[in-house]
Amino acid sequence: MNVVEASLKQALKSVPNESFYYTNASNFEFLNTYTGVEDCSMKVLDQMFTDIEILRSEKKTRITKISFCGYSFGGLIARYCIGKLEEIGFFDEVKPVYFTTFATPHLGVRFFKDSLFNKSLNFLGSRCFGKSGSELFLHYSDMLLDLTRPESSYMKGLGLFKMRILLVNTQNDRSVAFYTGFITNYSPFEDTEPAKLEFLDNIPGLKIWGQMVKPRILNLEQSSRGTLATTGDETGRRMVLPVLLILPILVPLTLILTVTGTVYAYIFLLFRRKIDIAARWAKLTKYVYHGGRMATSEQNAIEEGKNLSTRHIGDRAMAELTQDAVEAVLDVDGKVQQESEEGLSSRSKTPSSEQSDDSSGLNSRFEILDEFESDASYDFESASSKVRDVFSSFKNLDLQASSLVTGIQPLPFDSKRMQMMHNLNSLDWYKIPVSLNNFNAHGAIVARRNEPRGIATTLFWASVIRSDIMGSLEE
């Protein structure tokens, strides 16, 4: 999420008469993500309240508006957080504005092909990823269904946001399939390649590392299907050798990590410290919003929050290590294909904030990243005017109106997933379908490895936010 955050900071730093602060939750990484949506969300809210208190005590700043941006599983955590905030009256003091998800499995995870391999994935996934796995696969868990019940605080809170945006990979996402990220029961990209993909061409690009790059955002209305082609093309054949070489190492390692994570999660949940969010918010409200004095317990919470980054640096390092190992294998072909088609390659250099030595207090988590690379350029003034013209076309984008689904059957959803889909789609969404060349586009959509098209995608999204803010200021 570093490039996502940096994109937004670049876009908003010139907005007049507004101050923006950013926090990136760091207390549910690696094995901590196995403990389920509720536990992860409580940790995020605890850290968020600490950040609000830090801003008030050290910056004399009071938060009046809030937006959420979640990537992958983080999007579900954000939706749960919003429901809890609605329950405790948080939005009576703080106005909700933008809600965004990148490649989030809103409808959970399910492999629908009737094959032994997919049945094995469904079995292992629902049992070997801790409580989070059972929730994602809807295995003896109604957590994701509860998040979509119309009368719930989760849906009421989500409905308060001025704008709900989702960005999803159309293809090549090995973690979150198109249907669940787009909130639909059609999957036109799973087994076949449309004969003709059309992309929006009137959107801004940027010059980065000497090349002009535009985000590949699919035009669903003009894209069409032709002769269906299987995925066993040259891409698949080139991947056979590296996959065969790494499987003897990768499979046992993955099983060890997932089983360890599952055992850890359930043991942790037995002994975890309960966080009373309502009581915490009541104390915080008196101090931050009504001029009261800060309680001693809240002062202690702030001191703990200042050391949050260092407390979790070990989990972050391990998470990066394991994810890098897997992605290095999955993305072998993506790099070859991207370089041959575009003359572009991903840089390994990480944003400067990751290398900061300041790991205590407010600055380490709210420091602005000034640049991606010295030769990268992006005109937000021009981009904002361009995205304003095209963004409205993404509102409640109807996949069934596209010829891409002609002749294909909807996925065999059970009653729970059908209900989840209909309930979520009762709200207005801006749905942005992104097509990336990487073999595994799940990390590329947020430019985890500084993929050029991923950077272009995050900058496009940031331009959308900037355009709407500027339009509101002008009214």
**What does the DSSP assignment read for 179-226?**
HHHHT-S--TTSS---SB--B--SS--EEETTEEE---BB-TTT-B--
Q: Which residue reads 């719930």 in tokens?
A: 152
Q: How many CB atoms lie within 10 A of CB 168?
A: 26
More confident residue, 450 or 344: 450
In angstroms, the CA 439 to CA 246 distance is: 16
pLDDT, one tens digit per residue, over 24-35 is 876 556 566 788
Q: Is the pLDDT of residue 197 over 80?
A: yes
Q: What is the pLDDT of residue 266?
A: 72
In angstroms, the CA 78 to CA 139 distance is: 21
Q: Please classify residue 243 by burial: count the beta carbons closer than 10 Å to its beta carbon, then call 0-12 exposed, 13-18 middle and 19+ buried.
A: middle
Nearest to 429 by CA among 182, 165, 97: 165
CB 51 within 8 A of CB 25: no
Q: What is the pLDDT of residue 194?
A: 54
Q: How many CB atoms lie within 10 A of CB 346?
A: 22
Percent over 90 (pLDDT), the chain: 40
Average pLDDT, the chain: 79
Q: Is the pLDDT of residue 246 over 60?
A: no
Q: What is the pLDDT of residue 389?
A: 77
Q: What are the boundaries of each domain within the chain?
A: 2-474
Q: Per residue in 197-218, is it b (16+ CB within 10 Å) or e — as a string?
A: bebbeebbbbebbeeebbbbbb
Phi-psi region of 433 (alpha: psi -120 to 50; beta: other; left: phi over 0): beta
Nearest to 369 by CA among 433, 455, 247: 455
